[in-house]
Structure 1
């Protein structure tokens, strides 16, 4: 059954006052996003014109849910239950996180924080498997400064044994590194000015020591050419041994210089990382550095550009979080249907053809 993924979501609505099954409404919301819809009105329109083609709300042929119905639903459903559906769907394609790179990064739901409300808005901390483009967990927080608290909470939800956890500089904290090691996983952490002493020592290590290995990788996409040169050093090249001793299990220092040729100009950036792994090949760490940015390029960019998440103004109750989770589930469904079309074009095709949409759902194991 198409709506089976939402069957286990508890329905706390008043018995006898609800016209439509909860699982049907959630499935309609998902299909609306897959087909290029953006808001509650689009969900209502999809329900009226196409839901019965997929066996949804078929027991009420004389009525269709209104936009208000979807607004009340998304505001009230427990976001942990919708997140569980997202994670369980990902597990159909990924049984274990061992030997995978799990990227942790936060994204602000911009539409939830208009200036006139005086709110900083919601952030969602995502755990994203870079190799499979699958979200395996998320954690809601009210302020970006709380990421340091939210990261261990998110990691606690995941079985990360054997995985490599990569986090941007805000998560480069001694206790987080120790937490990852205690969970029998590896860390790959960005180093910036928030860790001043460590950052200076890593810069000096590469300035005064010859790398133990180096590797270069080139990518061409969207009219630009990017070259990433990676160099690695043993962690014991850090001169200040007190700084070295603070970081549990630290084995490797990584420096990546990225040069992006846009045709009319070139942009260069240097990024540095620390890792508890002592793999001797720079190409491996170059791959991790590229994978670390996949959450920005593959997840956050698509949510904003393809699904227009930043334009969403849903603020009531749990709506912003629930809608974001359903967008991620829609994205996973679309990405499983591999063809030469972009995600945007695949959504357009799904809006035109029931056969195309059905094939997409079958490949996504619905």
Structure 2
């Protein structure tokens, strides 16, 4: 009986030409690679070695008429595989898991793989991800094209997502009129950071709070919270002005602006405070808005940091064709599924366990169930 994971890849376009040398089914290649990355493999040689050492396990679910592919075959296939189609198949299934939990918050942010040189605005491979903050699932990914920028990649990623009923949070790179309008047209709400890259909007929001301060913040909604950990304590204060006046035209559906002030103490020493502005289409109180802003950074701690610590993504040198982007998506899927596994231990420990224990690996990949 095939693994339910196989159904995810059933309609992924095969980039290979039909020749006598085409020995392995695309679904076999993709299933083995996904399981291998979950189980600790970080490159093509490791993926092939894992598949070969676990050939008896995979033959329980797949015919493998020509055995397990070589590392060259894995690399060639992933270099040619359409990264958007590959990411969208995973995102579609992860989205169904989110539907079962009523998830609405989607954080969108980018991350570079420093060792994979490319001609992007960061000088290396830069992947933009959509992360379901509550379920901690990857919903989609796009790689910044050669000569491209994250600003123009975000709309492409959003276009592949179902934003009906979703709240999309973005950092300042996503603060673009066209991006905001796209979110609204796709049925979503937004919370977006405003910085100096949109000077006119930034200055207008600052003026809103200057006027509010002159009125001693009468009618403003305010909330505060304190967080502590690892020798640091942070106080956060959120002030919200609903139905703000004086904003420039073209920013679709702005219902409120927010000012988030942070003061941090490290080992008892107070650091200089920071303040950031936000615009949002939501009509919610300061406390709820603070939650969306705070949880947005779950993509940093729950995804990006894990990719660097447990998957060593910054050390990855995959460069041929689309290989790096597709391997990046495999890592993000692995993070999602390993986080859903109801077991104790770090992600690194869970990867090791998946490599040792076939039953545990099956438990992890059952995070994607048959339709």
TM-score, length-scaled by structure 2: 0.86
Q: Partners in 2 of 1:54 and 1:99 — Cα distance? A: 33
Which piece of structure 1 moves more, 136-145 or 174-183? 136-145
Alignment partners' CA distance in 1, 2:248 and 2:121: 42
Given the alignment, which residue of 211, 226, 236 partners 1:228?
Answer: 236
Q: TM-score with structure 1 length normalisation?
A: 0.87
Q: Please name the residue that 1:40 is paired with.
A: 44
* CA deviation profile, 1:116-167 (whole Å, cap 9, x unmatched): x999333222222222222222223236863332222222222212222211
Q: Is the 8 A contact 2:28 2:62 kept in 1?
A: no
- Aligned twin of 1:210: 217
| Distance of 2:302 and 2:325 partners within structure 1 | 19
Q: Give the stretch that moved more between structures: 328-337 or 130-139.
A: 130-139
Residues 94 and 368 in structure 2, CA contact (< 8 A), matched pair in contact too: no
The one of 271, 276, 282 aligned to 1:277: 282
> What are the superposed Cα offsets for residues 284-308 of structure 1, whole Å, 9 maximum, x if unpaired?
1110111221222222222222211
Q: Name which of structure 1's ranges 75-84 and 1-10 shifts more when overlaid on structure 2.
A: 1-10
Runs of 5+ unmatched residues, structure 2: none
CA contact (8 A) 2:190 2:281 kept: yes
Query: 1:257-303 deviations in whole A, cap 9, x for unaligned?
Result: 23344436454432221112222x21111101112212222222222
Find out whether 1:153 has 2:156 as its counterpart. Answer: yes
Looking at structure 2, the residues matched to 175 and 60 of structure 1 have their Cα atoms a distance apart, in angstroms, of 47
Superposed, 1:111-260 pairs within 5 Å as 111-113=115-117, 120-142=123-145, 146-207=149-210, 208=213, 209-210=216-217, 212-236=220-244, 238=245, 241=246, 243-260=247-264
Q: After TM superposition, where is structure 1 displaced by more than 6 Å over at least 4 residues in a row? A: 96-99
1:340 match: secondary structure: coil
Q: 1:84 to 1:283 in 2, by over 3 A?
A: same
Query: Does residue 353 of structure 1 match 2:357?
Result: yes
TM-aligned CA deviation for residue 363 of structure 1: 4.1
Alpha-carbon offset, residue 181 of structure 1: 2.3
Answer yes or no: is the 8 Å Cα contact 1:28–1:51 preserved in 2.
Answer: no
- How far the C-alpha of 1:15 sits from its partner, in A, is 3.5
Query: Map of 1:26-65 to 2, 5 A cutoff?
Result: 26-55=30-59, 59=63, 64-65=68-69
Cα-to-partner distance string for 1:23-42 (whole Å, 9 max, x where unaligned):
12211211111111211111
How much has 1:77 moved relative to structure 2?
Answer: 1.6
Give the aligned partner of residue 317 of structure 1: 321
> What is the aligned counterpart of 1:308 among 307, 312, 316?
312
Tell me the CA shift for residue 342 of structure 1: 1.6
Q: Which region of structure 1 is more displaced relative to structure 2, 152-161 or 211-220?
A: 211-220
Residue 52 (structure 2) pairs with residue 72 (structure 1): no
CA distance in 1, matches of 2:101, 2:201: 29
Please tell me whether the aligned partners of residues 37 and 43 of structure 1 are also in contact (alpha carbons under 8 angstroms). Answer: yes
Runs of at least 5 residues in structure 1 that lack an aligned partner in the other structure:
none
- Verify the 8 A CA contact 1:102 1:127 in the aligned structure 2: yes
Q: CA deviation at 1:168?
A: 1.1
Alpha-carbon distance in 1 for matches of 2:109, 2:354: 30
Aligned counterparts, 1:336-351, within 5 A: 336-351=340-355
Moved more, 309-318 or 200-209: 200-209
Q: Deviation per CA, 1:286-343, whole angstroms, max 9, x where unpaired?
A: 1011122122222222222221111111111110111111111111111110333121
Contact 1:123–1:144, Cα closer than 8 Å, also in 2? no
Q: SS of 1:42's equivalent?
A: helix
Higher alpha-carbon deviation: 142-151 or 330-339: 142-151
1:107 to 1:59, Cα distance in 2 relative to 1, 3 A: same
